[in-house]
């Protein structure tokens, strides 16, 4: 529809920079007005201020537009798609802020009428939705850019040349550093964002490791003896072999049944945030999961040790053992550079003993955390030991 420009009310605009009006005016003069503006039923401008300014520059009094039936930014027949595509990221942040403010006012009034879209949603979630962000986290990132970003960085985001997530990371730097990075180009912005993400991840991980380390040393607040964030266990499983075979195994080391293993005081040994590396054989896999649960751990993954030599077995002659990995609390995953193949092929030595390599793997994964080995055959430097196979108790 044709709208008289003089009737349009322009107030409380979110657009901060109208850009090059002269070039837009030239385009409209040559190609015509390609997109209509949007107004509400009271002729208040919703979007299209640049087009209005361009038409005024050309001396024109009439502009093409659509009426958007809009009660408020929160409720009513809201033409979200039209509004979203017309605003930049920084402008949508301003819209979201206005939505949050309006919601705060509406919820603060005693006689506020509950509207359906407010039920079960937080203000920030509604603001993010109404301003065209995918979720509240994206809105938070965009808000960070607008509040702390250098003008050059904000411009790159508004132009769609840099993602919100990448720019939000760069916006954590001081503005002078941001400007220098932006000046080097979009590729440098992405590289900087990647590096900042990694640094933040390392900091969070180190903080968690330090906290776990403090707890494992005996935190008076927890009122507990020393506990261990890293536990390595090779239970002496009892198998249903013949009497002769059972005696042979008992001669190697005393075995334990499932109930005895489950009842071990591992809960007292495990730190609030801890990881367990538990050896299991194929016939004992189900029982091993029961042990994890009894000890208060949640199964995560496993590795396979290829012994390079076949052993006993009723269906397959076993050539491997399984190292289950389980966690308790919020212990961080090991750094990426320590994650090796899940299949480790190394020749077995004496009965039941495990290769030194597995100690080294665990030590590299968690070098700063205290460690204990259950059912230890040969105490290892830097580790404490517990169980009926070592001299330690």
Asked whether residue 261 is assigned to any structural domain, the reply reads yes
The answer to whether the beta carbons of residues 304 and 343 sit under 8 Å apart is yes
- Domain span holding position 305: 228-386
Is 146 in the same domain as 274? no
Asked whether residue 20 is assigned to any structural domain, the reply reads yes
* Domain termination site, one of 226, 254, 276: 226
State which H helix or E strand residue 279 sits in. Answer: strand 270-280
* pLDDT, position 214: 54
* pLDDT, position 85: 52
Is 331 in the same domain as 243? yes
Is 239 in the same domain as 366? yes
Is 43 in the same domain as 20? yes
* pLDDT, position 158: 86
Chain position carrying tokens 């002496």: 236
Is 174 in the same domain as 95? no
Is 242 in the same domain as 356? yes
Query: Could you give the dihedral angle defined by the CA atoms of residues 380, 386, 391 and 393, in that order, rounded to the nearest 10 degrees?
Result: 140
List the structure tokens of 326.
Answer: 């389980």
List the structure tokens of 341.
Answer: 């193949």
The answer to whether the beta carbons of residues 376 and 387 sit under 8 Å apart is yes
* Domain termination site, one of 184, 200, 226: 226
| Neighbour count for residue 204 (Cβ, 10 Å) | 11
* Domain termination site, one of 226, 249, 283: 226
Separation between Cα atoms, residue 324 and residue 302, nearest integer Å: 4
Asked whether residue 174 is assigned to any structural domain, the reply reads yes
The answer to whether the beta carbons of residues 284 and 313 sit under 8 Å apart is no
Is 101 in the same domain as 198? no
Total number of domains in the chain:
3
Is 145 in the same domain as 167? no
Is 232 in the same domain as 124? no
Asked whether residue 97 is assigned to any structural domain, the reply reads yes
List the structure tokens of 91.
Answer: 């402008």
DSSP state of 282: G
* pLDDT, position 311: 83
Is 234 in the same domain as 112? no
Chain position carrying tokens 């013949």: 242
Is 124 in the same domain as 193? no
Chain position carrying tokens 């969070």: 204
* pLDDT, position 242: 42
* pLDDT, position 92: 80
Per-residue pLDDT of the chain (393 residues; tens, 9 = 90+): 899 999 988 865 555 556 678 888 888 888 888 778 878 778 888 777 888 988 998 999 999 988 866 555 554 334 444 455 567 888 788 777 777 777 776 555 544 444 434 445 677 888 888 778 888 899 999 999 988 998 889 889 988 899 999 999 999 999 999 999 999 999 999 999 999 999 988 887 777 667 555 545 543 333 346 889 999 999 888 776 444 444 444 444 467 888 888 888 888 889 999 999 999 999 999 999 999 999 999 999 999 999 988 888 888 988 999 999 999 999 999 999 999 999 999 987 655 578 999 999 999 999 999 999 988 777 889 998 875 444 443
Asked whether residue 47 is assigned to any structural domain, the reply reads yes
Could you tell me the CATH number of the domain that includes residue 238?
3.40.50.150
* pLDDT, position 357: 93
DSSP state of 389: T
Asked whether residue 393 is assigned to any structural domain, the reply reads no
Please tell me the number of Cα atoms within 13 Å of 12 on its side-chain side.
Answer: 8
Asked whether residue 392 is assigned to any structural domain, the reply reads no
């Amino acid at each position: 529809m044709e709208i008289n420009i003089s009737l349009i009310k322009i107030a409380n605009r979110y657009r901060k920079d109208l850009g090059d009006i002269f070039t837009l005016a030239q385009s409209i003069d040559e190609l015509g007005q390609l997109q209509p503006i949007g107004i509400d039923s009271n002729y208040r401008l919703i979007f299209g201020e640049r087009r209005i300014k361009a038409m005024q520059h050309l001396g024109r009094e009439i502009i093409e537009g659509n009426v958007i039936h809009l009660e408020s930014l929160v409720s009513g027949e809201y033409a979200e798609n039209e509004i979203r595509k017309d605003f930049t990221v920084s402008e949508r942040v301003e819209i979201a802020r206005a939505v949050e403010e309006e919601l705060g006012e509406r919820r603060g009034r005693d006689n506020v009428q509950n509207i359906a879209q407010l039920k079960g949603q937080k203000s920030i979630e509604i603001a993010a939705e109404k301003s065209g962000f995918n979720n509240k986290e994206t809105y938070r990132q965009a808000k960070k850019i607008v509040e702390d970003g250098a003008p050059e960085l904000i411009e790159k985001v508004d132009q769609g040349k840099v993602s919100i997530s990448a720019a939000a990371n760069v916006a954590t730097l001081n503005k002078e550093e941001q400007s220098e990075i932006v000046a080097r180009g979009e590729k440098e912005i992405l590289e900087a964002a990647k590096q900042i993400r990694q640094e933040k991840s390392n900091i969070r991980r180190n903080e968690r490791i330090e906290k776990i380390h403090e707890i494992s040393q005996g935190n008076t607040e927890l009122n507990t003896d020393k506990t261990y964030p890293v536990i390595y266990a090779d239970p002496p499983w009892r198998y249903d072999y013949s009497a002769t075979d059972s005696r042979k195994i008992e001669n190697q080391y005393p075995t334990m049944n499932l109930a005895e293993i489950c009842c071990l005081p591992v809960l007292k040994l495990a730190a609030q945030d801890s990881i367990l590396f538990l050896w299991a054989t194929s016939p004992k896999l189900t029982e091993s999961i029961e042990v994890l649960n009894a000890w208060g751990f949640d199964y995560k993954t496993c590795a396979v040790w290829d012994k390079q030599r076949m052993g006993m077995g009723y269906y397959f002659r076993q050539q491997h053992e399984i190292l289950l990995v389980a966690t308790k609390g919020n212990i961080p995953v090991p750094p990426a550079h320590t994650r090796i193949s899940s299949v480790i092929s190394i020749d077995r030595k004496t009965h039941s003993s495990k290769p030194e390599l597995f100690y080294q793997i665990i030590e590299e994964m968690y070098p700063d955390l205290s460690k204990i080995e259950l059912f230890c055959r040969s105490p290892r430097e830097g580790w404490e030991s517990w169980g009926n196979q070592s001299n330690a108790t």
